[in-house]
Structure 1
Amino acid sequence: MSLMLDAARVAAGVNIVLLLGLLAVWARTYREVRAPMTLGTMIFATFLLAENVVALYFYFTAPAMPTLAVQFMMILQVLETVGIAVLAYVTWQ
């Protein structure tokens, strides 16, 4: 179970780094273009960033959790990482 929790922690950390990078790119774009869509993506990314910060905090401070819960949390974090990574790749192209 510890390995799965570690994987969830790493995925949440990677999500935070990717989202900070995306926010920087989108903020620069928004300053230049002032497009409402860019502002919307920034707000969405901010909420997603907050979710990942809270998740990472929870992963380090939570009491023992059932194995099934840890498995599902890890799967969701990893899927989220893949999704954000694809979005980052497309954005930086």
Structure 2
Amino acid sequence: MSLWFEAARGAVVLNVVLLAGLATVWARNYRSHGAKHTLGLLVFACVLLAQNLLALYLYSLDPTFHSWMYDSAPVAQRGTMAMNALELVAIAFLVKITWE
């Protein structure tokens, strides 16, 4: 396995966990307050969660995608990992400000 591939998959797993937590908090807040802004955050979290669940499926279970990524050039693997890692940083920031 490529280290870059595994790092990308690890970032996606963390994204899923953090997004599920954010969606839970924002759903609870929306039920309590009914604010449109909170609904927007909830929809954002759900869409991004769906995208990350699809990525997790592709990284973990889809043999065609898995072999394509594994056999791709290292620059493609690093780029994919960088996008997932940057997304993780953004989501972690949202988690930090949500929990404060």
- Shared fold, TM over 0.5: yes
Q: Which has the higher contact order (CA 8 A, sep 6+)?
A: 1
Task: For structure 2, list consecutive stretches of 5 or more residues without a partner in the other structure.
Answer: none
**One-letter amino acid of the counterpart of residue 33, structure 1:** H
Task: For structure 1, list consecutive stretches of 5 or more residues without a partner in the other structure.
Answer: none
Segments ≥4 residues shifted beyond 2 Å: none
Q: Does 1:64 align with 2:68?
A: yes
Q: How large is the RMSD of aligned CA atoms in angstroms?
A: 1.1
Residues matched between the structures, number: 93
Q: Percent identity?
A: 47
**TM-score, normalised by the number of residues in structure 1:** 0.94
Cα deviation, 1:30-58, whole Å, max 9, x if unaligned, reads 01100011011111111100110111111
Aligned to 1:39: 39
> Partners in 1 of 2:2 and 2:78 — Cα distance?
10
**TM-score, normalised by the number of residues in structure 2:** 0.88
Aligned to 2:24: 24
Aligned to 2:81: 74
DSSP 3-state at the match of 2:68: coil
Q: Does 1:14 align with 2:14?
A: yes
